Amino acid sequence: MLRTLGLFLMAASAAGLGTPAVSQPASSSSAASSAAGSGASLFDEQCGSCHTVGPASDPLAPTLKGVFGRKIAGRADFAYSDALKAKGGTWNQQTLDVFLTDPASFAPGTQMYAGAPDPATRQAIIDYLKTVQ
Ligand code: HEC
């Protein structure tokens, strides 16, 4: 599935569809499919330096595979900050939106200091995270 997605993304970027959707008018159906692809590339650009969506967490950051619907700070293979462990609840549209708007406001003391403050970028990334189950 990841391999398929990767090949799709390579094909999409070869076809010029890898341009971030935020810079394109959202007026045609091709813009919509481009937005789906760009969630993955935005993730790679803005989150991929720390996070993967692989089966296991990296020492740097928890894997985000299956994060949508997962308990906050819920992976046994990552040493979360006390701040995030104390939050409780699950990652859903609302919690991800608030966290990624400003991680330090959501969980003061979190080790994640960079979010995705731009709303369109943030939503494209959240939509992408829903697909990596
Ligand atoms: C500089 C490294 C870094 C970057 C860049 C980064 N993160 Fe994180 N992220 C972390 C760390 C470290 C944690 C664990 C935070 C803690 O324990 O307080 C984390 C935690 C998370 C969590 C909670 C996961 C869980 O298992 O509870 C989510 C969701 C998340 N990041 C999403 C993102 C997204 C989406 C982006 C891109 C917009 C991003 N992160 C960018 C380092 C990073």
pLDDT tens digit string along 38-67? 999 999 999 999 999 999 999 999 999 999
CATH of the domain at 88: 1.10.760.10
Ligand 1 pocket test target in 112, 131, 132, 133 with most atoms within 8 Å of CB = 112
d(CA 42, CA 124) in angstroms, rounded, equals 8
- The CB of 67 under 6 Å from ligand 1? The reply is yes
CA geometry: angle 73, 110, 107, nearest 5 deg: 80
Instruction: Catalogue the E-assigned strands of the chain.
Output: none
* Assigned token pair, 127: 């939509």
CA distance 66 to 133: 4
Whose alpha carbon is nearest atom 9 of ligand 1? 112
CA distance linking residue 11 with residue 117, whole number of Å: 29
**Ligand 1 contact via 91 beta carbon (within 6 Å):** yes
Mean pLDDT on 70-77: 98
Number of domains in the chain: 1
Please name the amino acid found at residue 76.
Answer: A
Residues of the domain holding 19: 2-131
pLDDT digits (tens, 9 = 90+) for 74-111: 999 999 999 999 999 999 999 999 999 999 999 999 99
Taking residues 16-36, what's their average pLDDT?
47
